[in-house]
Structure 1
Amino acid sequence: MDGGRLAGTLRAGGLGLWVCPSDQHYYNEKQQFAKSRGYPWFLSNRRPEKLRDTLKELEELLQSSPILSVRWRAKQCCQMLLRPGVLVTLILGGAQVERVAIDRTLVGRLPADTISDAVIGDRFLLFSLMEKSQVCQVYLNRKNQSSPELARHMEKLTVAEIKVSVVDVPGGGRRAERRVGLNQAQDVAVCWWPICHEDVRPWSPIPSAVDRANLVLLACSDTPGLTVLSSIRTDRNPIDCRFSLTQPYQILTVELHHEANHSVSELHEEAQPLDVHICVYECARGHLQHLSSTPVPLTSKPITCHYDPLERWILLGLQDCSVVLFDRQTGLSQWATCSMMPSLLAWHPSGGVLMVGGGQGELQCFDIGLSPLPLQKVCEEPAPDSLATSLQLSRNMKISSGLEGIQWACCPVSQGSVFNGGQLGPSDLVQHRLRCGEVDAALGILGNMDWAMMGAECYRSLISITDHLLRKPLDHQNEDKVVLSLWCQKGFLYFRHQRFEKAFLLAVDIGARDLFMDLHYVAEDKGELVLAAVAKKKANEIDAEAQTSAPVFCSPSVYRVNSSEKSEHILVPSASIFRQSGDVTV
């Protein structure tokens, strides 16, 4: 995925069983269509690449060996680590595989049958071993390992370049499936596993705090190798653990109460709220400390999660085929229903698009307001049912075991539109929604934008939505949308449609003297003398209070606005932001 576009899938004619060209519809036309766009119809098998044979070998490896870790070193270079220790490097040219390198140097040097998880770093590989409760670091003494020109250095590893370091991990659960993770600086790693409930024998000694730990902090370096820094036992059962992207020495976990894992939900007709917490741990002077714990109200067990680039929001995928967007600052949650069980989540680097994937190759896209974005295949003549909320990849490619992961490509900065590979930030999606006439979706995006971090973008989106609504006739539906989009300029809309009572109540809510004076003059012109007198009186009272006290510049506030459809929290500027030199800016 690059800039919001899904690359089309092509099947080369040289793979699979040979089929007579006459048995395929439009065989020559398809061949000409692919060649005109630079895609080879038959894969070459020339030395030294031998691409056709190498791809067949890779397909056989993927059927017998699961993938432990995938990392994109560059936009054209992808590396995969398989369970036996096979390192596969793919060199891409657009949507076409140009070269494949299969490295088996590590095979036989690691206990492959007990590897439970792995991470590919810039200078080393990190493995977690199940049988011996160990973490293994394979340091790659290669200067060009982290270079973007890795595509030109396809030579295989040698024994002289490998340095192995193994450390015993403290804690219980000898057969637990341990997971590993690296921070952004790649100098600290974490090894974690679920809490194991082992039977305590009367003659067994009381386990210490170190023996009961299930979260271990490791130091990664090339000279001494791996060393254990600290360990801790979590209060609940962790279902996800990762390092923060903004704070490299903080660990974010999603923990579930251990009793909830063994509860039988089918015995209860009514859904019981689960005890789910988002916890933050910090590494200070080599020791783990528990900083905070935020409860999340859920009615179903979470199975996956993902954070936004600023780590304010967390997206949770639940077992009941729904996703929850939780705000860590305000504690508010939003829900949306998916067409499949969300097992994979990916947040776009621009922060505006969420991708949800299922285990059988389903894809569904949402914006940050949890409004679905339709997905469509690239084809010359779209079918009527091609524009849908989900995309079935199994209909377009052979997937034996389903999706393994979803990752967005970091595309260069572009000023084009969303359809032409432009940015997919929240403000860009607001403009796209307005062009399509989807005001409700634009309001949902605006409600989840952070005024503290992107104030200018929020203000531009606010003005764009308001300008779009003011051009429409004032009915009850558009009136509620204006309330959600703007709080201050709504009074002038009431003036034009002679709804003086609502304009007076709005002026009382925001305390705007100029709005009372405008109401006074408009009411006098229309013959509403009583309303004009009361409005002038309120304006004089506000003017007297302003002379006796210093001016106060209000910060943005959170309003709860009740509309006919739903109740939302919208962050909008208060009246003092629009008030300059005694005049209200329209």
Structure 2
Amino acid sequence: MSFCLTELHLWSLKSTLHIADRDIGVYQYYDKKDPPVSTTEYGNLEEKQRLAESRDYPWTLKNRRPEKLRDSLKELELLFGSGVLVSLSLSGPQLEKVVIDRSLVGKLISDTISDALLTDSFIILSFLAQNKLCFIQFTKKMDSLDANKRLEKLSALDYKVLSSVRTEGNPLDVHFGTSQPYQVCTVECSISVDQEPMADSCVYECVRNKLHCMSVTRIPLRAKAISCCRNPTEDKLIVGCEDSSVILYEAHRGVTLLAQAELLPSLISCHPSGAILLVGSNQGELQIFDIALSPINIQLLAEDRLPSETLQFNKFFDVSSSLVQMQWIAPPVVAQKPERGEIYDLLFLRFNRGPVGVLLFKLGVLTGGQLGLVDLIFQYIHCDEVNEAISALSSMNWDTLGQQCFVCMSAIVNHLLRQRLTPEREAQLEASLGTFYAPTRPLLDATVLEYRDQDIHYLALDMGELALAEVARRRACDIDVTSVSSGIVTPNLTASYRHAACESHFSSSAVCGPQCLDSHEDSHFGSA
């Protein structure tokens, strides 16, 4: 069974953490004095220290000037009052530098900050006690937060509200669209006519300084929504409900998926690749789903292979701490290779009355550290989890991810064709090929024309090999009416047999495309 292997790195020097010496997948920092007795219960602390240092994980933090990292971390765990800005620099999952800037202390209109937006040139703050926004403009562009960079202004500049609109439901999420920044996307909690809870996905557009609602998509729920997020391409909306259900709405297929989480989904975060979802609870639990809401087990690095449905963080804290923030950390630009995508393997975690840290995903060298849809489906195939692979493929959009869809579908079909044909395999072949031949919504003509050219029948016609084209067509028709496994005549036999027939004209390891079926005018697959 496939699962995610992780390491938990807590950036803390506190002795209230309960991390045993056998927890080789959990790390914290220690003072130079002897560590707490609770960490040496098995007598393996020295071995764990050698293991950490062999991986360039610092056991004790250096306190050299000017960074004074150990003192800065101690101060960090006592701070976060009014107007304190903190910048954390990382080297992998480890802290490299902590910069604390107090230039805003005592200069804000309120003591309690509820939210902040930090850019290179300005920062905007909102407050719990007052219905106001504070705009702070920096004197020069800031590549990183630095205590030496001072402020130019701290005042209510001449900013005006261009437009406002009253939403029909209670807004759960509001943000600008990533693909169309002039649009405002919201998720609103509403009630249907039958008094059933709903989630409204709304799109607003500012025209002539007036906000207009352009579209509303109503998603039925089983309970009130408490959290939500969108995937990077914004064609999927994930909603967490107070009955622990997770709802996923796919805009391009117009379908709604449902899964029951093992925890209360107070936080939801989508991986930047769009392949997996992380669902967290305030009680310090974490669960992983793929983009088709199939659960994925998770495990911290350990001596034994014991993956579980959820990851429990609270067992490492002597003082109960709730999980209040999850955010994927952007990788450093210098570490990226142009031929590979960005590697997102660090999840930032922040606990209330607790430490901050990261969850490191050990993604391996075979995928180059990637966690994309193709990598996920290939892992499913490797573990013979075909149904999960097909579900993930079904959630992909052929019109926008055509090449990835074709690679994944070919891999699934080739994996199934190498095995004994059973009714279950037959249904799986039909479902995987059906993502192209019987989609929920018709594909674009350009997509169909691009990928049907992989068909041996059509390819032979294009090359002038008329005899080969006719043999492929005739052989596929023969298999369409006779089962190769049982010899029983089946008029509605799955189209996968026709694909296998095309393979017989080449070597046994030949890879055919989905278009092997397009040559059959009497195909029953398209209406399945």
Give the TM-score taking structure 1 as reference length.
0.65
Other-structure match for 1:11: 28
1:373, distance to aligned residue in structure 2 (A) = 1.5
1:137, distance to aligned residue in structure 2 (A) = 0.7
1:329–1:491 Cα change, 3 Å: farther
1:42–1:131 Cα change, 3 Å: closer
Give the total of aligned pairs. 421
1:98–1:29 Cα change, 3 Å: same
1:5, distance to aligned residue in structure 2 (A) = 6.3
Query: Match of 1:154, as an amino acid?
Result: D
**Cα distance in 2, alignment partners of residues 574 and 97 from structure 1:** 49
1:296 to 191, 204, 219: 219
**Do structure 1's residue 236 and structure 2's residue 166 form an aligned pair?**
no
1:254–1:442 Cα change, 3 Å: same
Query: Match of 2:93, as an amino acid?
Result: A
**Cα distance in 1, alignment partners of residues 308 and 317 from structure 2:** 18
**Higher alpha-carbon deviation: 227-236 or 106-115:** 106-115
Other-structure match for 2:51: 33
2:296 to 373, 380, 398: 373
Instruction: Report 1:104-183 matches (<5 A).
Output: 104-113=102-111, 115-143=113-141, 145=142, 147=143, 150=144, 154-158=146-150, 161-166=151-156
**Cα distance in 1, alignment partners of residues 318 and 300 from structure 2:** 17
1:436, distance to aligned residue in structure 2 (A) = 0.6
Instruction: Report 1:114-513 matches (<5 A).
Output: 115-143=113-141, 145=142, 147=143, 150=144, 154-158=146-150, 161-166=151-156, 225-257=158-190, 273-379=196-302, 381-382=303-304, 386-396=306-316, 400-411=320-331, 412=336, 414=340, 418-420=363-365, 421-487=368-434, 492=479, 494-497=482-485, 499=487, 501-502=489-490, 504-506=491-493
1:157, distance to aligned residue in structure 2 (A) = 3.9
Alpha-carbon deviations, 1:211-257, whole Å to 9, x = none? xxxxxxxxxxxxx6532111111122212111111111111111122
1:303–1:423 Cα change, 3 Å: same
**Cα distance in 1, alignment partners of residues 77 and 272 from structure 2:** 31
| Contact in 1 for aligned 2:314/2:320 (Cα 8 Å) | no
**Cα distance in 1, alignment partners of residues 105 and 183 from structure 2:** 34
| Contact in 1 for aligned 2:100/2:147 (Cα 8 Å) | no
1:113, distance to aligned residue in structure 2 (A) = 3.0
**Cα distance in 2, alignment partners of residues 109 and 281 from structure 1:** 35
| Contact in 1 for aligned 2:226/2:266 (Cα 8 Å) | yes
| Contact in 2 for aligned 1:482/1:490 (Cα 8 Å) | no
1:133, distance to aligned residue in structure 2 (A) = 2.5
**Cα distance in 1, alignment partners of residues 133 and 477 from structure 2:** 62
1:120, distance to aligned residue in structure 2 (A) = 1.6
| Contact in 1 for aligned 2:231/2:274 (Cα 8 Å) | yes
| Contact in 1 for aligned 2:198/2:224 (Cα 8 Å) | no
| Contact in 2 for aligned 1:237/1:258 (Cα 8 Å) | no
Gaps of 5+ in 1: 66-83, 167-223, 261-270, 519-572
Other-structure match for 1:49: 67
1:398–1:48 Cα change, 3 Å: farther
**Cα distance in 2, alignment partners of residues 353 and 431 from structure 1:** 14
Other-structure match for 1:70: none
* SS in structure 2 of the partner of residue 257 of structure 1: strand
**Higher alpha-carbon deviation: 11-20 or 470-479:** 11-20
Larger radius of gyration: 1
Alpha-carbon deviations, 1:330-355, whole Å to 9, x = none? 33111111111011111111111111
1:282–1:369 Cα change, 3 Å: same
**Cα distance in 2, alignment partners of residues 129 and 8 from structure 1:** 32
**Cα distance in 1, alignment partners of residues 280 and 319 from structure 2:** 14
**Cα distance in 2, alignment partners of residues 16 and 364 from structure 1:** 36
| Contact in 2 for aligned 1:326/1:333 (Cα 8 Å) | yes
1:404, distance to aligned residue in structure 2 (A) = 2.2
1:430–1:24 Cα change, 3 Å: closer
**Cα distance in 2, alignment partners of residues 287 and 399 from structure 1:** 50
Q: Percent identity?
A: 36
1:471, distance to aligned residue in structure 2 (A) = 2.1
1:246–1:497 Cα change, 3 Å: same
**Cα distance in 2, alignment partners of residues 405 and 273 from structure 1:** 29
* SS in structure 2 of the partner of residue 366 of structure 1: strand
| Contact in 2 for aligned 1:340/1:362 (Cα 8 Å) | yes
1:576–1:490 Cα change, 3 Å: closer
1:340–1:23 Cα change, 3 Å: closer
Query: Match of 2:98, as an amino acid?
Result: V
* SS in structure 2 of the partner of residue 329 of structure 1: coil
1:506, distance to aligned residue in structure 2 (A) = 4.9
1:441–1:22 Cα change, 3 Å: closer
**Cα distance in 2, alignment partners of residues 106 and 490 from structure 1:** 76
Aligned CA RMSD, in angstroms, stands at: 3.5
Other-structure match for 1:211: none
**Cα distance in 2, alignment partners of residues 276 and 8 from structure 1:** 34
**Cα distance in 2, alignment partners of residues 446 and 259 from structure 1:** 32
**Do structure 1's residue 102 and structure 2's residue 92 form an aligned pair?**
no
**Cα distance in 2, alignment partners of residues 247 and 459 from structure 1:** 28
**Cα distance in 2, alignment partners of residues 139 and 291 from structure 1:** 33
User: Which has the higher relative contact order, 1 or 2, with Cα contacts under 8 A spaced 6 or more apart?
Assistant: 2
Gaps of 5+ in 2: 10-26, 344-361, 438-475, 502-512, 524-528
| Contact in 2 for aligned 1:88/1:103 (Cα 8 Å) | yes
| Contact in 2 for aligned 1:137/1:226 (Cα 8 Å) | no
**Cα distance in 2, alignment partners of residues 26 and 392 from structure 1:** 23
Other-structure match for 1:75: none
